[in-house]
Amino acid sequence: MKVDGSKVRIALIAVIIGVLLGAYIGYALTPTTTFTISPGVYPGAPDYTIWREGSNYFAKNKYGEIEFSGTNASQVIQSAINALTNGGKIFIHQGVYEINTPIILKEHITIVGEGGIKSNSGKGTTVLSATQSIDSVFKTSPEEDTLIAHISLLYLRIVCNDLVETAINLTNVDSTEISWVAIRGATSKGIHLGFYGTIPPSGGTIPGGMTIQHCRFYDTNAIEINIEYNTQDWILFNWFAGGNPKTAIRIFDSNKIKIRGNEINTPTEHGILITDDDNPSSHNIQVAGNWINPGTNCYPIKVNLTSPSVYSDITVTDNLITDDGLGLSLDNCVIVDGTDFNGKPLRNSGTATISSGTSVTFNHGLAGTPTLVLCSFNNTGYGEWKWSATSTQITITVTNSGTYEVYWYAEYKP
Q: Which pLDDT tens digit goes with each residue over 268-292?
A: 999 999 998 867 788 889 999 999 9
Residues whose CB is less than 8 angstroms from the CB of residue 366 and which lie 6 or more positions away in sequence, other chains included: 344, 345, 346, 347, 348, 410, 411, 412
Q: Where are the beta strands (DSSP E) in 47-94?
A: 48-53, 56-61, 66-70, 88-92
Q: Which pLDDT tens digit goes with each residue over 118-151?
A: 777 767 799 999 999 999 999 999 998 999 999 9
Report whether 300 contacts 263 (CB < 8 A). no
Pairing of strands 299-304, 126-130: unpaired
| Cα separation, 103 vs 48, whole angstroms | 16
pLDDT of residue 336: 57
| Cα separation, 362 vs 73, whole angstroms | 67
Residues whose CB is less than 8 angstroms from the CB of residue 222 and which lie 6 or more positions away in sequence, other chains included: 186, 187, 188, 189, 190, 245, 246
Domain ranges of the chain: 37-219, 246-343, 347-411
pTM of the predicted protein model: 0.77
Q: Give the chain's mean pLDDT.
A: 86
Other Cβ atoms less than 10 A from the Cβ of 65: the count is 9
Strand partners, 233: 257
| Cα separation, 267 vs 249, whole angstroms | 10
> Assign residue 284 a region: left if phi > 0, alpha if psi is -120 to 50, beta otherwise?
left
| Cα separation, 48 vs 88, whole angstroms | 9
Least confident interval from 94-98, 103-107, 345-349 = 345-349
List phi, psi (to 5°) of 302. Answer: -135, 130
